Structure formats: structure tokens, C-alpha cells
Structure 1
Amino acid sequence: DVSHKILRTDTVLDFLYDLYNKAQHNFHENATKKLVGEIVLTRYNNKTYRIDDIDWEQNPQNKFKMFDDTEMSYVEYYAKQYNKTVRDMDQPLLVSRPKKKIQKGGKPMEGPLYLLPELCTLTGLTDEVRADFHVMKDIAIHTRITPDKRNETLQTFINTLNKNEKVQKDMKGWGLSYDKTLLKLEGRVMPPEKIWQRSGSYNYKPQDADWGREMRGQQLISCVPMQNWLFIFPARNSPQAQDFFRPWSGSDPHGHEIISHHGVRFLMTGLILPRT
């Protein structure tokens, strides 16, 4: 299926510079909270890694053991292996703890991987971008494609594979081949369901798959109040947790209590949850 990945032009080092210029107080703590759990791309080998920690005690001039037990600094390694010049010698190292892998020398990889922020490109969207309606709307034009566009994209992909001689040679060796067209199935469009609420029933436009406007201001047939419940969230997300809870607290426009203030319990944790 068609999938998308958001790639940014700024490096992790750019992000650290910007964060430090905005607020020097508790810089290490703030940087760790912002970056741990993020996925970065190393363009020198086109691989992605998850940031599990930041080692503020190390820098690119520190040395590490190669698979043949020789030692080399990170500056020397990236210059020799990837022809990359490291400019900031004071930057910390990013820590990634991947699953067990085998090194080139045949030995199992032990311990975490250390990456240079200067050579890591951020992926995904920042909280500021997610909160920008106009930016998200522009992104949705490319990511939320219509069925016709999805069909066109997949058909183009299949045509590319069928015209590639190397791909065809490999596929024939396995006794496999791609059809020239996508699989066609017969189906039918189901009529839209009628939505019932206390004040009556109404229809909606099935092509939009959205009935929020029709439900606005209508009473529910029955409401079940939430009397006792626990709200758990990381300490760093306290503002977002309060924003989430505020619309659901108190009563709805018709006087029905949605969530009881007396039964709610807030629990802030020190855990840093991975972003999805």
C-alpha cells in the first residue's frame, strides 16, 4: 500500500542549537524530553534509528572499539567510512539501543549505538506543526489520497517493476510474476444508515463519512456519567492533559453531567512515553 514518511531538512544539532537559544535553563533536561523517542535518519547510510537517550559526557572526539578491536574516534570513523567532516566537536552523542544485530566481522553487536546529532536528520512532525491547521491541511493533500489516486500510484509502481529487466530476471528465478493490472472485484455501495438521537433521526452525506455537523446541538438517547476514573499522563504533558480534560468536565449544553469532578484522580508519572 502507499505509505508516507515526513523528512525534515534540519539536523538534530540544529534542533539543539535552537532549543538552547530559546531557553538555556534546564537545557539538558528539556532536550532529553524533546528528543527521546524520536526517529532520526542518517543520510550517509539511509537508515533510521530511535533515540533512547543522550550522552552529554561524550563528544565526537571520543574513541570506540571497532569489530577488529582497534580504536578510532567518531571524527576519524565518519571521515574514513563516509567521507563526512564533523564540525562541532562539543556536541553530545545520541544513544540508540537497537535489537541484537551482527557486525561485519561476524560478531554480535554489543551495547548501544552512538550517533552524531550533526549527521542525523529529524523525521516526523513537531508539536508546533501538528497544532498548525493550515500546515496539516497541506500535508493531508499528499497523504490522504483518494481511491482513484491510490489505484493510479499502485498501477504506476507495477508498470515500473514489469519494465525493469533486473527485477524481471529475479522474479523469474523465483517463479513469480506481477499481473499487468490490479485485481478487480465486484462490490456494491451500501446505503447510508439513518442516525437516531433523542430529538429524532437524520441522514448524512455518505461521500463525506462525517456526521459531526448533523449531531451538533442534538441530545443523546441516553448518557452514562463517568463517576470514578483515573487519568494518567507524563509530567511533561500536563498542559495537554488539562486541555484534553477541560471540554469533558462539568455538564453538556443540555445539563447532563459528563464527568464527575469528585470521582476523577490525576496521576502524573515520570515516564517518558514514546511518540507515535
Structure 2
Amino acid sequence: MLTKMTLAKGRGAALLAALKKKREQEKVVGVGDAPEEAVTKEEPPKPRGRAALLQKLQESRLKKVGGTLEPAASTSHSTSRAPVPESKVEELSKSVLEISFTEKDVVTYRGEIGKPLNVSANYIRLQIEKGRGVYEYEVRFNPELDAKNRRIRMVNLIMKELGSVKVFDGGSVLYLPLKIVETQQTFHESLPGPDGDQEVSTTLIFKRKKSMGERECLHLYNVLFKRIMHILLYTQMGRNYFDTEHKYLIPQHKLEVFPGFAVTVDELEDGLMLSLDTQHRVLRTENAYELLNELRSSDPRRFKEMATSSIIGSCVFTRYNNKTYIVDDVAWDMTPQDTFPTRDGGSISFIDYYKNQYNIIIHDTHQPLLINRRSVKVPGQTEKAERMVCLIPELCYLTGLTDAMRSDFRVMKDVAQYTRVTPNQRMAALRTYLGNITKSEKAQQVLSDWGLKIDNGVINMTGRQLDNEVILFGGGQSHQTNNSADWNRAIGENKVTGPIDMLNWIVFHTERDKRHAMDFAQTMCRLGGCYGVQNRAA
């Protein structure tokens, strides 16, 4: 039976033509009849650029180690590529060696202008003895000792029995130059106190051994110099150390100035360095309790209001532990007779606490307490916990200057006589400090026990003094500055280089500040013309 076929058109015709062409190609190559080797395949493209370089590097690496150079296989074709000739591999290896990275000297940028001069820095070099090590231990007390001096005294009793030098900052980290226990060991000692002896158990837990040259030993160096400052009779206030024996008194303003140093050990490009910088601490001879009594007598009705504005935010110094605190609040409903919980689950009053821990007798048992809030790390927790510290006003000495003192020219002039020092005076203070270390046998012994040696001078270097800058103004005008870099007068006499007119501007103010706003607007209009700026107030 014959049927009539319709000729394909459009897309169908194109598909039939492609199918016919494919069948003709299969007949030519003999698909299905000819062996697999007779099938002609397209040559894979050769790698170029970075791929070619990586392939040649791999082949040269195999050549060096005596491996067989296997041709790399293509990811889309199974035909293998011919191996690279040995002559090309050797040539490539030679080229790679020629372009290999070489170590270069450190790039130092130096200017060329200015006048050369010799300068000295407030850094002193520390030398480390080779082969020395540090053993770190954790210290735990039972019962817990809050006073720093009692913790140090307890560790001193243990180290006296062991006959070993130590570095202990009064916290929980102990550094020894020798390993005394493998894992941990507990010592039982009787600690004398004002109310009799107290049995205290101290546990030393070995943490790790560190090399003296490691950067992690920076904490050790800083703790070590804390001990040296203590040997030299310096008192720590905050993070710095001050000489309380040679203080400067300003009795007419009820002030005293303590000279001291900011001491920091750090590892710099040129080795381990000790940084020394002169510091001064201004303390008032009156304490917070005297200030409260003075405010109460001046205006009893507004006493609490004035006390809050005067005390809150101020920094106080407690001489019994040489610490500074920021007063965050005043607890009017609390007195030294109140109790607080201890770590062993009991409770103790503030009067008994200061008597037991510091042998201090509180005279006024009805005075309010000062509150200090701080965030501390809690073992086993990632977030810090807030702790509240209650302070006794009669034990807190006021530090710093009040706003009234700062605005008083006579006070600032008298204080500046001791706090403003010249570069020569700074260098003299550093040399005095180094001389005290050299003369102190205990300080030298501390350094030698840990394999350290301090230089007898500061770091000297060559600097450059630049010429005074020329200030460029608008209209081609310029001004040569002087050594004090003062060009206030010139800026009022010359126009700026790129003035921008302020034709529409508004000053928003309250009705109470209307007079100040008008003065500000008039000043802007008056000074704008000097700078070449046209403006007018809306």
C-alpha cells in the first residue's frame, strides 16, 4: 500500500538534512566495522600561559627526583600527549632557577631634606642570655586571699622552702626558672595575721615551659620590672610607678605631685627594649570623707545633690592597696557596718574586713559608701561579669584637678613647675633610674637570675630637623612660620585658597540661647570677609 509523503519544511527539513549528513560521515569512517584505532579523533588543545608553565614545572620536578615523565592526560580526550624532550626540560629548569625568589634587604625609607642631628630615644636595650627558659605555674589559694600583700607573702613562704627565685605579681600566675613539680603540688603553711595565724593551702599547677626569647614572655618581663620598681621603692598607681618618698607639695592648693615612670617592655625590630617615660601624678591631700563633710557644712539642704555632682565620675586612690577607682555612684543607704558575702559562703562587715585584711580601723561607722562598677573575667565563661566594689570615703584620696582648679591660672602655674619637664630633664631622669638599678644589688640579682642584662644607656640615633613650613594662602600670598609654628595672625589677615560662599545658612537655637546665637551669627559674618567668604545669616 502506497501512502503519499509530505515534504518536510522549516525546522523539520533542517533536522533531516543534519541527520543525513551524519550518516554519510559514519559510512566514511566505518563506525561499527573498523577497529577502535582507526577512529580519527581531534587533537586536544595545547595548554597555554600559566597552565603550560605549571605543566613544565611538574615535569622538571619529576626529572630532578628521578621519576618518569608521564604525559599529562586531557580532561576531555583520552589521547596521550607526547613527552617533552629532555633538552627542553633542562632549559626550563635553568630558567626557573634564574627567576627564583631571592631574599632582599629590608627596605628603609630615609628623607634627604632637613638638618641632620643626633637624638636619643626613651628606649633601653635588654640582652637575653642564651639557653634560659621560663616555667609557668598557676597559683590557687584555699581559703581565698583577697589582699595582694597576703598572697605574695604566702608564695614567699613556699619559695623560701624550695630555695628558688620567682616572679609573682600577686595574681594567679607564677614564673620560675626551674621546674619544681611535674603536674601540681599543694603546700600547707600558716600565714600570720592581726587576729592570729591562718592555715592556708596553696596549690601550684604546672602549665608549660617557654623560651626567654618568645614574645609570650613579655608578660614575664613586665612583671619582672614591677618587682624591680618595688625594690627601688616606687609605688604603683594604676599602670605607672611613682616615687612617693620624693613628692612635691603644693600646700596653698592642697595638692601633692608624685614623679614617676611609665615602664613597658616590648619586642621591637631591633630586639627586646625597655620603654621609660616620665610621668607625674597629682593627688589632693584631702580624702573623699573630708570633701563630703565640707559640702555638708556649706549647704545641708543641697548636700546630696552637690556630693553626687562632685564625687561621681572622679578618680580616687586607695593607699592600702595602691589602686585607683572611678566612682560610679554613692550608696547613701549603706554604711561600713553592712555585711557582704565572702567566697567561703559566709558574710563579714566592712569594718571587720579592713581590720582583718589590711589592719585598718574605720573611725566613722555611719558614712555612706562609694560604688565602683567594673567588668571582670569569670573562669569558665566567655562573657565578662559585672562586679561592684564598695569603697570607704575616709580611705579614698581624691586625684586629679577639678574644673575650678583647671580654670585657675595660679593653680595651673604652680602645678606646671613640676609636671612640665624639658627633654634634658627627661634624659636626666632616665639616667638616674639606670643608675639606681646599677647601684642596687637586689635589682641586679633579679635580672641575673632570669638571664637578663640591661644596657647602661638609652638608644641613640640620627634624626633630621625639617625647615619651618610655608603656609600658602589665597591670592598668591604665603607666610613663613616660626619655630613655635604659630600662624594664627596670618590666617586672620589672608584669604583662604578655595573660599566657598555661604549665602543661605540658618542657626537653630532655643529662646534661652537667643543672645548666644546672635553673637555667633555676627561673628561668622564678620570673620567671613577676612577669609574671602561671602555669607549672610537668614
Q: Which amino acid aligns with 1:116?
A: I
Taking the aligned partners of 1:186 and 1:69, their CA distance within structure 2 comes to 63
Counterparts in 2 of 1:246 and 1:5: CA distance versus 1, 3 Å:
farther
Q: Which residue of 2 aligns with 1:194?
A: 470
Counterparts in 2 of 1:10 and 1:249: CA distance versus 1, 3 Å:
farther
Q: Which residue of 2 aligns with 1:273?
A: none
Counterparts in 2 of 1:190 and 1:29: CA distance versus 1, 3 Å:
same
Counterparts in 2 of 1:230 and 1:246: CA distance versus 1, 3 Å:
closer
Q: Which residue of 2 aligns with 1:205?
A: 482
SS of the residue 1:3 aligns to = strand
Q: Which residue of 2 aligns with 1:162?
A: 438
Q: Does 1:153 align with 2:425?
A: no
Match of 2:417 among 122, 141, 146: 141
Taking the aligned partners of 1:182 and 1:195, their CA distance within structure 2 comes to 36
Counterparts in 2 of 1:40 and 1:193: CA distance versus 1, 3 Å:
same
Q: Computing the radius of gyration over CA atoms, which structure comes out larger, 1 or 2?
A: 2
Q: Does 1:218 align with 2:493?
A: yes
Q: Quote how far apart the aligned CAs of 1:250 are.
A: 3.4
Greater fraction strand: 2
Taking the aligned partners of 1:246 and 1:175, their CA distance within structure 2 comes to 70
Once the two structures are overlaid, the 10-residue window that deviates more, 142-151 or 78-87, is 78-87
Q: Quote how far apart the aligned CAs of 1:191 are.
A: 1.1
Counterparts in 2 of 1:142 and 1:12: CA distance versus 1, 3 Å:
same
Structure 2's unaligned 5+ residue stretches are 1-276, 379-383
Counterparts in 2 of 1:38 and 1:173: CA distance versus 1, 3 Å:
same
Aligned length: 246
Q: Does 1:251 align with 2:527?
A: no
Q: Which residue of 2 aligns with 1:119?
A: 395
Taking the aligned partners of 2:369 and 2:394, their CA distance within structure 1 comes to 10
Taking the aligned partners of 1:256 and 1:84, their CA distance within structure 2 comes to 64
Counterparts in 2 of 1:170 and 1:101: CA distance versus 1, 3 Å:
farther
Taking the aligned partners of 1:8 and 1:62, their CA distance within structure 2 comes to 28
Q: Quote how far apart the aligned CAs of 1:123 are.
A: 0.4
Taking the aligned partners of 2:536 and 2:397, their CA distance within structure 1 comes to 45
Counterparts in 2 of 1:228 and 1:10: CA distance versus 1, 3 Å:
farther
Taking the aligned partners of 1:246 and 1:56, their CA distance within structure 2 comes to 44
> What is the CA deviation profile of residues 100-148 of structure 1, one whole-angstrom value per residue up to 9, with x for unaligned ones?
268xxxxx99731100111100001011110011221222232221111
Q: Which amino acid aligns with 2:479?
A: Y
1:45-64 mapped onto 2 (5 Å cutoff): 45-64=321-340
Q: Which amino acid aligns with 1:122?
A: L
Q: Does 1:29 align with 2:301?
A: no
Q: Which amino acid aligns with 1:218?
A: E
Counterparts in 2 of 1:179 and 1:115: CA distance versus 1, 3 Å:
same
Q: Which residue of 1 aligns with 2:320?
A: 44
Taking the aligned partners of 1:162 and 1:95, their CA distance within structure 2 comes to 43
Asked whether the equivalents of residues 41 and 120 of structure 1 are also in contact (C-alpha less than 8 Å), the reply is yes
Q: Which amino acid aligns with 1:202?
A: H
Q: Which amino acid aligns with 2:482?
A: K
> What is the CA deviation profile of residues 24-63 of structure 1, one whole-angstrom value per residue up to 9, with x for unaligned ones?
3343233222222211111111111111111111011111
Taking the aligned partners of 2:329 and 2:426, their CA distance within structure 1 comes to 38
Asked whether the equivalents of residues 329 and 370 of structure 2 are also in contact (C-alpha less than 8 Å), the reply is yes
> What is the CA deviation profile of residues 162-200 of structure 1, one whole-angstrom value per residue up to 9, with x for unaligned ones?
332222222234332221111111112211112344584
Q: Does 1:65 align with 2:341?
A: yes
Counterparts in 2 of 1:149 and 1:261: CA distance versus 1, 3 Å:
farther
Q: Does 1:172 align with 2:444?
A: no
> What is the CA deviation profile of residues 188-244 of structure 1, one whole-angstrom value per residue up to 9, with x for unaligned ones?
2211112344584333431x34444x447424415666957999xxxxxxx9xx99x
Asked whether the equivalents of residues 55 and 94 of structure 1 are also in contact (C-alpha less than 8 Å), the reply is yes
Counterparts in 2 of 1:166 and 1:99: CA distance versus 1, 3 Å:
farther
Q: Quote how far apart the aligned CAs of 1:149 are.
A: 0.9
Counterparts in 2 of 1:205 and 1:48: CA distance versus 1, 3 Å:
same
SS of the residue 2:343 aligns to = coil
Counterparts in 2 of 1:167 and 1:253: CA distance versus 1, 3 Å:
farther
Taking the aligned partners of 2:537 and 2:305, their CA distance within structure 1 comes to 33
SS of the residue 2:370 aligns to = strand
Asked whether the equivalents of residues 525 and 536 of structure 2 are also in contact (C-alpha less than 8 Å), the reply is no
Q: Which residue of 2 aligns with 1:87?
A: 363
Give the alignment's TM-score, normalised by structure 2: 0.40
CA RMSD of aligned residues (A): 3.6
Counterparts in 2 of 1:144 and 1:167: CA distance versus 1, 3 Å:
same
Q: Which amino acid aligns with 1:35?
A: I
> What is the CA deviation profile of residues 78-98 of structure 1, one whole-angstrom value per residue up to 9, with x for unaligned ones?
233323222222211011113
Q: Which residue of 2 aligns with 1:7?
A: 283
Once the two structures are overlaid, the 10-residue window that deviates more, 117-126 or 144-153, is 144-153
Asked whether the equivalents of residues 506 and 537 of structure 2 are also in contact (C-alpha less than 8 Å), the reply is no
Structure 1's unaligned 5+ residue stretches are 103-107, 232-238, 263-276
